Amino acid sequence: MLKITKAEFITSAASRAGFVQSDKPIIAVAGKSNVGKSSFINMLAMKNKLARTSNTPGRTRLVNYFDFGEFVLADLPGYGFAQAGKAEKEKWGKLMDDFFAASGVSHVFSLLDIRHDPTREDVQMVQYLYHYAIPFTLVATKSDKLGKSKVKPRLTEIAAFLGAATGNMLAVSSLTGKGRDDVLARLSHILSIAEE
C-alpha cells in the first residue's frame, strides 16, 4: 500500500494560466462547499494544517495544489455555495471546464456528505465526470456521524442515487482517520494504472 511521506503546498491558481503541469499523476478532490475537502486532504497527509479548513462555506475559490511525493493533489473550489451569485457560479464553471481540459487529471475523488442525499450539484458533478470519461471514486465523508451498522446501507443508497457501483464508494472520517487505508489502497491502484 502507498505510504505518504511528503505533503507540501505548491501553489494556488485562479485561472488556466496558473494551472500546474506535472510529470506526476494529478489527482483532484471535488465536492460541495463544507463537505470536508480540506479535512480529507489533511487526513491523507496526516498533517492538521496542510489544507486550510474553514467553518465558512465557499472559502476555497482557487485550485490549490499539493505535492504528495508520487502524485500532485489538486483541491478544487467547493461548489453549491448558496450565497454565491450567478457571476460567481459561472466563473466557477469556467474554472472547472478549463481545469479538466488542461490538467490531464488521472483521477477525481468526488466527496459527498454521508448524512445527506446528493444535491443537484453533486449529481451534475458525477454526470460531468461520466460524460468526459474522467475516472473517479466517490468518497462519503463524516462517516463517524452515523452508527457503524448504518454506513454500508447508506453507501448503497448514495451509489444507487448517483447510478454508481457501490464498490466505487469509500466511507471516511477525517476525525477518526477511518477509511484512510481504503483511500491509500485506491491511490496505489490509480498510480499503478498511471504508470502503464
Distance CA 35, CA 12 (A): 20
The three grid cell numbers given for residue 11, joined into one nine-digit string: 501553489
Profile the chain (196 residues) by mean pLDDT over runs of 10 residues.
90 90 95 91 91 57 92 90 66 84 90 94 92 94 94 95 91 95 96 85
* Chain position carrying cell 475537502: 37
C-beta atoms surrounding 115 within 10 Å:
13
Q: What is the DSSP annotation of 84-135?
A: --HHHHHHHHHHHHHHHHHS-EEEEEEEEETTSPPPHHHHHHHHHHHHTT--
Distance CA 138, CA 100 (A): 17
pLDDT score for 82 = 53
pLDDT score for 171 = 97
The three grid cell numbers given for residue 145, joined into one nine-digit string: 456521524
In contact, 138 and 164? CB cutoff 8 Å: yes
pLDDT score for 92 = 76
Q: Name the residue type at position 82.
A: A
pLDDT score for 34 = 86
Q: Name the residue type at position 15.
A: S
pLDDT score for 157 = 95
C-beta atoms surrounding 19 within 10 Å:
21
pLDDT score for 60 = 52
pLDDT score for 108 = 97
The three grid cell numbers given for residue 109, joined into one nine-digit string: 475523488
Distance CA 87, CA 31 (A): 20
pLDDT score for 84 = 59
Beta bridge partners of 66: 9, 73
CA-based R_g, the chain, Å: 16
